[in-house]
Amino acid sequence: MASKGAGMSFSRKSYRLTSDAEKAKVTGIVDEKLLNDYLHHVFSPPDHTSPAATSRKPLSFQNLPEHLDQLLQVDSEDEESQGQDEGRLGPSTVVLDHTGGFEGLLLVDDDLLGVIGHSNFGTIRSTTCVYKGKWVYEVLISSQGLMQIGWCTINCRFNQEEGVGDTHNSYAYDGNRVRKWNVTTTNYGKAWAAGDVVSCLIDLDDGTLSFCLNGVSLGTAFENLSRGLGMAYFPAISLSFKESVAFNFGSRPLRYPLAGYRPLQDPPRADLVRAQRLLGYFQAVLSVELDPVEGRLVEKKSSEWQLQGQPTVLLTLAHIFHHFAPLLRTVYLVEAVLVNFLLGIVEAGASAKAALVVHQVLDLLWLFMEDYEVHDCLKQLMMSLLRLYRFSPIVPDLGLQIHYLRLAIAILRHQKSRKFLLSNVLFDVLRSVVFFYIKSPLRVEEAGLQELIPTTWWPHRSSREGKESKEAGEETAEERLRRRAYERGCQRLKKRIEVVEELQVQILKLLLNNKDDNGGEASRYIFLTKFRKFLQENANGRGNMPVLCPPEYMVCFLHRLISALRYYWDEYKASNPRASFSEEAYVPPQVFYNGKVDYFDLQRLGGLLSHLRKTLKDELASKANILIDPLELQAATMDDLDEDEEPAPAAAQRPMQALAMGGTLPLPRPGWLSSPTLGRASRFLSTAAVSLMTPRRPLSTLEKVKVRTLSAEQRTREDIEGGPWNEGLLLGRPPEEPEQPLTENSLLEVLDGAVMMYNLSVHQQLGKMVGVSDDVNEYAMALRDTEDKLRRCPKGRKDILAELTKSQKVFSEKLDHLSRRLAWVHATLYSQEKMLDIYWLLRVCLRTIEHGDRIGPLFAFMPEFYLSVAINSYSALKNYFGPVHSMEELPGYEETLTHLAATLAKHFADTRIIGTDIRDSLMQALASYVCYPHSLRAVERIPEEQRIAMVRNLLAPYEQRPWAQTNWILVRLWRGCGFGYRYTRLPHLLQTKPEDAHLPSLQKPCPSTLLQQHMADLLRQGPDVAPSFLNSVLNQLNWAFSEFIGMIQEIQQAAERLERNFVDSRQLKVCATCFDLSVSLLRVLEMTITLVPEIFLDWARPTSEMLLRRLAQLLNQVLNRVTAERNLFDRVVTLRLPGLESVDHYPILVAVTGILVQLLVHGPASGIERATSVLLADPCFQLRSICYLLGQLEPPAPGTALPAPDRKRFSLQSYTDYISAEELAQVDRMLAHLTSASAQAAAASLPTSEEDLCPICYAHPISAVFQPCGHKSCKACIDQHLMNNKDCFFCKATIVSVEDCEKSTSATSSAA
């Protein structure tokens, strides 16, 4: 092997200087006495060897090999064969039996030690069994779900329902349900969590079986095990779908060895002894220096030792590594010897000195070991480090995690090692994202949180937006002291966690270093390639089971990545004044269409990428100078056709039995779901990354760039950062974008990846962990209720007092536990710093969307997840970070709210966005936005032109679009202005269940008069806007209410059957939804009539009469259905079925009343007369329905006062908390007016013959004649028909015009 350091060369096979002549040629060799002293100092004999036996003979490089061989000889017991031992049967290397010892479908890692459940309850056992002695193996818990871990015999038969512990002679521990299993089950042990280590112990001498959790014994689980002839026990596990573990049978040092128990696989004892001795010799070299001038040895600290190229030292190290290097390729020896040695360096010294020593050790490894040996050694070293980090218990000072991270940083500071690990190990094998995760302790006592947070506290009410709870009294002095003590404890915990987070950020800063490009590609560009693959694995869900990163890991990784990204972004700004600060960051729009960044199969706003390239190729050429190659278009089309087909070679490599139920799958192996330290699937779901040909000269305005395909690995630094006459990632800059660079192009790709990460799983995890806070609120409410009962309980009822006291103690203990766990969750997920990270991502997305919107049709190339992240990150900031942190405290809060409001208002009806899901998300986000005062005011602050355009889109006809969401938006703009429409809880629920004060409440009304005015102006402007909008509203109301009536008929029939049939909950939900839609549509009609009454009452408009008649018809139908005595609606409401709580008289009747009051009380005199005549002319009108509103069977006599409301009968007078006296008086005037008008109409009406009635509705007299066919009907029928059809009812001839019947008759008479 060639020495890389001292300018001399020597062979790996022999370092002996064979003659004095050769020795004389080598300069720098010290004199024989000093050399002898040095070698004796370094190669001191083992403790049990007599010094006299080895020190009599002088040492030199000629006899050093024999001397070293003698020192490395081990005792005969250590050299014993590691084959069959008494008490054990099977191969000496113990793995999982993937050939026959399994049941169900399982995914097994390449090393046959990690396993993932891929069926209901799969089972697998090991290849080795034991029948005598005391044995142990360890299981590393990667997920904390349903698993049963233990032992079984070969005769045990399992299936998809029964696993280990469910049959005779099989025994298991289940930490998910905290039980032990052997046919029957009882409580046992503690709950396990992801990151725990379970030790499974069997003592076949005494016939007992027990378990340990993180080295702590859980006690004897089973006794009197069956032993004797044919009884041997295999390690075994049963696990449910997607649960994962990794076994350690002894291939690695046990994390928690127990005296007297042997691992199933023997350790390499002889090699371990040799490695420990060689490490001692290596340490001796680092602790002494040669002083040739004085002729003596100088003792030095390891941190002060430096490799100076002395031949004596180099030759000495070469002899050591000649034996040491092969041993350092073994995982057991790396973890037992090298990791412990390096950890000792890190723990003993300051960070800088320790990093220097580790750096020198790595230099020596690269210098004296072959490349393949160093590669194996570094791989095993990082695997061991990651395993130690993930499966170490949480201690109060997080000391273990800190030491492991400091060592990882020291290793990654070594440039050559860092590049190797990035290229071949990190992301590819280790999934190094684990290094950025801080696991949450499930058992707060073991994590020391009781010492850190001795005083617990919890909030007494929820302050989540959109909810109200009972007002709490002022905080007492005792509660204030407890809260402050709790907050101090939380701060102590947060400071300790911040130490770990800072170390994690340092790791990412090293991986994002782009200044280490001497001798190869810089670390950042290697990281970008691996990071993109990581994102693809987590985004691509096709084909085989995706290799998913757990959401809890992704959250921590995102926050550390944002910190490192902003550090380098602002560092670049410091040296480049024309660049922007990270606070102004966004992703330029050309990144989305120039093909430099691969977005895999993620949906674009305008649809599929291949479709966009074909339809927008002219825009790409004109705005971005990008020419789509026809061959690329053809290839993209073929990719779309074949994208679901699996490549033939990959399909052929997979064994057929692996695809059947009951088989194990050695490939693919999703590393995230199995052992986190064991590689990943060798098959990688890949799609071609499209890039641009790098131009070598400036492009004129007429020249185009052709697109060609490049894989992610083929991209160079120049493809990303650009060069002379090449803009790299920013190629194809549209004229709307500024010329000066924002930052380094590579950082833009990292930023794009961070936004994608949030969309993949971070938002989901943020919402999931809010459950801890919800649990605290629920237990706090239960504790308060229990304490209230204790105060009210008679002192004589000691039995009740005892039960209540017991309950109080349980709730208090649970709250103590949850409040400490909540402190951990807040520190790691919901701290102020984490909130600022999410807020920064929100602003990045808004700026990116704004810049993308400027480029016109090319906006369609933007991936959908940018809009999704903008919506979801705002939702997270609003709902997940309270009550500790408020969004209103964020810098630029009002401006950001307005910016988001403008984005939602502009794009919820954007024709460039075609995806149904993202359009629905935008609509729902806008509906939520206008529901709260702060965000509604932000909508009102956007430019007037955008506001009007938003309202115009809301008033578009409801057909062919998601009209329900649109209608809800309009209703929320009105809520608080309508008749009896100011409630925050459904009034009928509070009347029937006043004790249910914890029922979810509605948001307080916050109407927008400004947006209402825009709506009124738009309805008045065009002749077609109001008719088309109102016609669609009336159509949808007719459909929604008809569907509702049909459903309650089915529900009533099911309830009346003798056999008790349960009504489908989905049907109840749809029924309630139709009712709510009917109410909301009625409220929109009420708003329209209030704002623009002339649309219905000014019959100079061509459609007013028709709209008024349709409205009257629907109102009468609703009133008749709802107000009839003991009718279908009454009976269903009386049932009070779960899911139909919102169905009641009040919501729908007050909405109808509001419309009638506006028509018959507030309108102009002429309008009131027209509305009255139309209402009374409708054949469905019943005065009794109007009387029902005030709880009357018949109208009162003129001049008499209203009777008192009957509690058993519905009456608006019963809801005085929600309906004002003035509104009741208006209803009274309306009833009096209709009573009088109805009497007058009855007296004046003349009998009509059947021949004069409309042949369509038989309700109105004939009043219209169709031209040219001459058929007749009433005006209401023909007007409604002509809204959708121009053919005659009877002869199907095309109707050219409609004339009044009287005009037509007079014209005929004149002609005659």
Q: How far apart are CA 786 and CA 813, in angstroms?
A: 14
Q: How far apart are CA 958 and CA 909, in angstroms?
A: 13
Average pLDDT over residues 478-493: 91
pLDDT in tens, 683-718: 222 222 223 333 333 434 445 555 554 566 667 788
pLDDT in tens, 1123-1150: 887 678 888 888 778 888 888 889 999 9
What is the pLDDT, as a whole number, of residue 384?
92
Average pLDDT over residues 309-314: 83
Min mean pLDDT across 299-303, 916-920, 1163-1167 is at 299-303
The long-range contacts involving 1204-1211, CB below 8 angstroms and separated by at least 24 positions, are 1210/1145, 1210/1146, 1210/1149
Greater confidence (1287 vs 239) lies with 239
What is the pLDDT, as a whole number, of residue 1262?
82
What is the pLDDT, as a whole number, of residue 984?
76
Which amino acid, one-letter code, is at 683? R
Q: How far apart are CA 881 and CA 834, in angstroms?
A: 9
Angle at 567 between CA 561 and CA 570, to 5 degrees: 135
Q: Is 288 helix (H, G, I), strand (E, B) or coil?
A: strand
Angle at 772 between CA 769 and CA 778, to 5 degrees: 140
DSSP, res 337:
I
What is the pLDDT, as a whole number, of residue 663?
43
pLDDT class of 103 with cuts at 50, 70, 90 = confident
Strands 288-291 and 296-299: antiparallel
Looking at the chain, the whole-number percentage of residues with pLDDT higher than 70 is: 83
pLDDT in tens, 1088-1113: 999 999 999 888 888 888 889 889 98
What is the pLDDT, as a whole number, of residue 124?
94
Residues 6+ apart with CB under 8 A from 777: 458, 459, 462
Which amino acid, one-letter code, is at 304? E
What is the pLDDT, as a whole number, of residue 1?
40
What is the pLDDT, as a whole number, of residue 7?
36
Average pLDDT over residues 892-918: 93
Backbone phi and psi for residue 123, each to the nearest 5 degrees, phi listed first: -130, 140
What is the pLDDT, as a whole number, of residue 1000?
44
pLDDT in tens, 28-50: 567 788 888 889 888 888 764 54
What is the pLDDT, as a whole number, of residue 222?
95
Average pLDDT over residues 57-76: 86
Model pTM score:
0.85
CB neighbours of residue 1038 within 10 Å:
16
Q: Which residue has the tokens 């948001």?
A: 1003
What is the pLDDT, as a whole number, of residue 354?
87
Say whether the peptide bond before residue 1164 is cis (omega within 30 degrees of 0).
no
Structure tokens at 216: 């702590």
- Asked if residue 1236 has pLDDT above 60, the reply is yes
Strand partners, 288: 299
Closest alpha carbon to 240 in 115, 114, 119, 97: 119
Structure tokens at 50: 């007599």
DSSP, res 584:
G
What is the pLDDT, as a whole number, of residue 752?
96
pLDDT in tens, 568-625: 999 999 999 999 999 999 999 999 998 888 888 889 999 998 889 889 988 888 887 7
Min mean pLDDT across 338-342, 429-433, 1006-1010 is at 429-433
Average pLDDT over residues 1020-1031: 86
Residues 6+ apart with CB under 8 A from 1301: 1262, 1263, 1264, 1265, 1272
Closest alpha carbon to 1227 in 1176, 1152, 1173, 1132: 1152
Average pLDDT over residues 320-329: 94
Q: How far apart are CA 460 and CA 883, in angstroms?
A: 11
Strand partners, 140: 197, 246
What is the pLDDT, as a whole number, of residue 451?
85
- Asked if residue 843 has pLDDT above 60, the reply is yes
What is the pLDDT, as a whole number, of residue 1218?
87
Q: Which residues of 670-693 are buried (b: 16+ CB within 10 A; e: fewer)?
A: bbbbbbbbbbbbebebebebbbbe
Residues 6+ apart with CB under 8 A from 769: 825, 829, 830
Closest alpha carbon to 458 in 788, 782, 767: 782
In the predicted model, what is the mean pLDDT of the chain? Answer: 82
Backbone phi and psi for residue 1010, each to the nearest 5 degrees, phi listed first: -65, -50
Q: How far apart are CA 260 and CA 264, in angstroms?
A: 13
Spell out the alpha helix ranges (H) of 576-642: 590-593, 609-615, 617-624, 630-642
